[in-house]
Structure 1
């Protein structure tokens, strides 16, 4: 198998991740990657750190640049699909979309069609190839049952520039969330590390060995038993807002994984990526986007206000 036949993944080791074994680190980056699979890829010399081959017991240093090349599923070809998209902004380098709740961002086992990537390939024709055939153009993700704003790269130059802003925490991202209970204060910050839940590897949790995760929140509206929050991400860990809200005792309404499961007739968790801001990676122009709550969350608020 040649490198040209492999799908590349790139990772930059951040502060606080030093000292971790590379096989453990990589296994935590994607659901479905086991340590034994990572160790096999390491033995097959499909992993490099700063351009050099390493073994499974290699200990990471801050700033290490990891490249992983895995064989793409040869039987899989991501097909463009004529799926309606709400395009908020588009130019030759990037596109900003308002993803509906229930849409998966990119193909993966169990979801090889009907994804945002399938729709974008039909709409844009060309997307950045940095993340390979399954995740072309994808710079950041939001969960299937979360709605809202995403920026997708159409050129490799834009992709690298947007990734750098994410790494530097220079991208503005805020969410609207409906959570259980009330708060004694109008503003708050959750600063608690997030990693794989040791009791359930399919979930994330606040764990001492996790990566630094910071969520700032403000109260927008109080209802009889619930609160509408604006949550701003300082870091971008998997399921960060969902985990942090559950951790402080205010799980998001309708969250099937970290909440009480009560959705009051709405499908999925009441979480919406409402604002997105960044500097254009090619022109340098400051861009800011905001989209209103989707109809299902508006109806949810109406129900909760009358409880």
Structure 2
């Protein structure tokens, strides 16, 4: 069962919260020793949705959907998860409304990947706990791939590089991060996609998933993201957020036994920024 992606936490839920484990149609304990040719069937426990998550009926832009995963394109200025500030129209609220409207088997919102509120692009949801566990494992093994595009201040001379610098909290701030020797390991790989007179368009691949990783790493080498009020300056007239977009994700779907790759088109404000920066 562990080899099939069932975590210890999920196994506990199966054992104690209404799930079932059967071999050749007969219910067994987890200590049962299987033999070649036997059939294992696992029934997941029922999932109870949280009453604390409000329902939003704002439409979603769906990039991929099956019985196990839902991949959506998050607009900028929409929070990924609810908070005391954004309690009723985060992406999680919208997905919960969608699951209810479509009479999904489970109406629990399992968000797998997250983006900052001002960052646009792809966010993955799992439709049940097992699917969530599968993608969590891929995240830890770095086999779930995410590609970003961003516009940074200044012109980068190096076409391709990896920023390998640990990230931790900035003293005195609950929000801001910084490169610091005692931080958590973080690697950001980038390629120059287009050089413009005063800015550079980059393609980014994350090898770790630290909070604000791209924003912190680019600021640390003297090229903060255009429009980033926290790590740079929000002074560009063409965009009023950090110029960052999650453009593609790729993961393995074991339930259909194929690689799933999704793309999110460049949003209008980022495209406008690139157009005007190119004409300077």
Counterpart for residue 55 of structure 2 = 80
CA deviation profile, 1:212-250 (whole Å, cap 9, x unmatched):
100000001011100000010011100100000000100
In the alignment, structure 1 segments of 5+ residues that lack a partner are: 1-9, 11-73, 130-135
The structural deviation recorded for 1:80 is 1.7
Give SS of 2:133's match.
helix
The alignment status of 1:162 with 2:113, answered yes or no, reads: no
Alpha carbons 1:263, 1:269 under 8 Å: kept: no
The structural deviation recorded for 1:278 is 0.5
User: 2:214 is matched with which residue: 213, 237, 241?
Assistant: 241
The alignment status of 1:209 with 2:182, answered yes or no, reads: yes
Give SS of 2:97's match.
helix
* Structure 1 pair 244–128 and aligned structure 2 pair: CA distance change class (3 A): farther
CA deviation profile, 1:3-28 (whole Å, cap 9, x unmatched):
xxxxxxx8xxxxxxxxxxxxxxxxxx
Provide the C-alpha distance between the structure 2 equivalents of 1:218 and 1:155, rounded to a whole number of angstroms: 36
The structural deviation recorded for 1:182 is 1.1
**Superposed structure 1 runs of 4+ greater than 6 Å apart:** none
The structural deviation recorded for 1:199 is 4.0
Provide the C-alpha distance between the structure 2 equivalents of 1:281 and 1:113, rounded to a whole number of angstroms: 33
Provide the C-alpha distance between the structure 2 equivalents of 1:91 and 1:141, rounded to a whole number of angstroms: 20
Counterpart for residue 200 of structure 1 = 173
Give TM-score scaled by structure 2 length.
0.78
The alignment status of 1:225 with 2:202, answered yes or no, reads: no
Mapping of 1:3-22 within 5 angstroms? none
Provide the C-alpha distance between the structure 1 equivalents of 2:178 and 2:85, rounded to a whole number of angstroms: 24
Counterpart for residue 67 of structure 1 = none
Provide the C-alpha distance between the structure 1 equivalents of 2:54 and 2:174, rounded to a whole number of angstroms: 31
CA deviation profile, 1:277-298 (whole Å, cap 9, x unmatched):
0101433311111222101111
CA deviation profile, 1:246-287 (whole Å, cap 9, x unmatched):
001000000111112223232210000001001014333111
Provide the C-alpha distance between the structure 2 equivalents of 1:290 and 1:172, rounded to a whole number of angstroms: 12
The alignment status of 1:117 with 2:92, answered yes or no, reads: yes
User: 1:98 is matched with which residue: 73, 89, 92?
Assistant: 73
CA deviation profile, 1:59-110 (whole Å, cap 9, x unmatched):
xxxxxxxxxxxxxxx9x72122110110001011110001000101111121
Provide the C-alpha distance between the structure 2 equivalents of 1:246 and 1:91, rounded to a whole number of angstroms: 39
Give SS of 1:98's match.
strand
The alignment status of 1:184 with 2:157, answered yes or no, reads: yes
Give TM-score scaled by structure 1 length.
0.71
Counterpart for residue 108 of structure 1 = 83
Counterpart for residue 302 of structure 1 = 275
Provide the C-alpha distance between the structure 1 equivalents of 2:85 and 2:63, rounded to a whole number of angstroms: 28
In the alignment, structure 2 segments of 5+ residues that lack a partner are: 1-8, 10-49
Task: Give RMSD over aligned pairs.
Answer: 1.6
Alpha carbons 2:77, 2:117 under 8 Å: kept: yes
